Amino acid sequence: MSAFSALHRSRRALRAGLHTFRFHDFGSNLASLQDGVDVETFERLAAAYADDPRWHVLLDRRPRFQKETVDLDALADLPDGTLGRELLRHLVDHDLLGGERHPVCPYPASDEAAYAKIRWRETHDVRHVLTGLDTSIHDEILLQAFQHGQFFNWFAVSTVAFGPFMDPRRCLSPGMAHRCWRACRAGRRALPLFVVFWEDLYDRRVDELRHKFGVERIGPRP
């Protein structure tokens, strides 16, 4: 990576981070921040699973979790407590059905790494459901700590380090560091969630999937 590229990425990430802090805009700005700090991260992640047949299935089928690709009526028909029904409840409760349109990443990446980033982003809310964490700043920080436990990424590090200043009353409390440590530990202890084909598991109960993948419920949601 050239010095120019590193400088450009750093400036882009800094602008996105400052905009997020100033306006509490958590959409495309956070995507730009991640683009700036985690290009190599997703290259390493894709390479780490290059021989994993589960990753090959995802690459072959390229599932997308977007409003246009998900049958929301089918999720609504599932029983309470199933992954699909609770995922839909999470999206409705937090007004997330509109989806997000992220800007095109200006930094080159392999096809596998580009899809790895898309997949990780689009299954973010699955991890909300599994961990029981809400979408408050406090809980988003804990989820990033959990995700850092899954695999090292600079976006999670940045969020855990600087996110508490966006809600200092709750997130700069004496126990926050310990809660982040516990969430990170839970992420390390869980099985890798990146290569799971969640679309085949919508009808399974959330508590069953937590047991299957070793995911500890961190937040208050059942």
Banded pLDDT at 3 (limits 50, 70, 90): very low
CA 186 to chain centre: 15
pLDDT reported for residue 56 = 98
Confidence of residue 1 (pLDDT cuts 50, 70, 90): very low
In this predicted structure, the answer to whether residue 213 has a pLDDT above a threshold of 90 is yes
Q: How confident is the model at residue 124 (pLDDT cuts 50, 70, 90)?
A: very high
3-state SS assignment for residue 153:
coil
Q: What is the pLDDT of residues 130-174, one digit of tens each?
A: 999 999 999 999 999 999 999 999 999 989 998 999 899 999 999
Q: Can you give the pLDDT at residue 38?
A: 80
Instruction: Map tokens 């949601």 to a residue.
Output: 221
CB 41 within 8 A of CB 153: yes
Q: For residues 28 and 87, give the distance between their C-alpha atoms in angstroms, rounded to a whole number.
A: 22
Q: What share of the chain in percent tops pLDDT 90?
A: 69
> How far, in Å, CA of 180 to CA of 202, rounded?
28
Q: Find the range with the poorest average confidence among 9-13, 92-96, 107-111.
A: 9-13
Alpha-carbon gap, residue 133 to 91, rounded angstroms: 13
Average pLDDT in the 194-217 region?
Answer: 98
**What is the full DSSP assignment across 163-184?**
GGGGSHHHHTSTTHHHHHHHHH
Work out the pLDDT band at 110, boundaries 50, 70, 90: very high
Q: What whole-number distance in Å separates Cα of residue 73 and Cα of residue 16? A: 35
Of 105 and 194, the structure prediction assigns the larger pLDDT to 194
pLDDT at 4: 40
d(CA 24, CA 7): 25
pLDDT digits (tens, 9 = 90+) for 23-73: 465 555 566 666 777 888 999 999 999 999 999 999 999 999 988 899 999
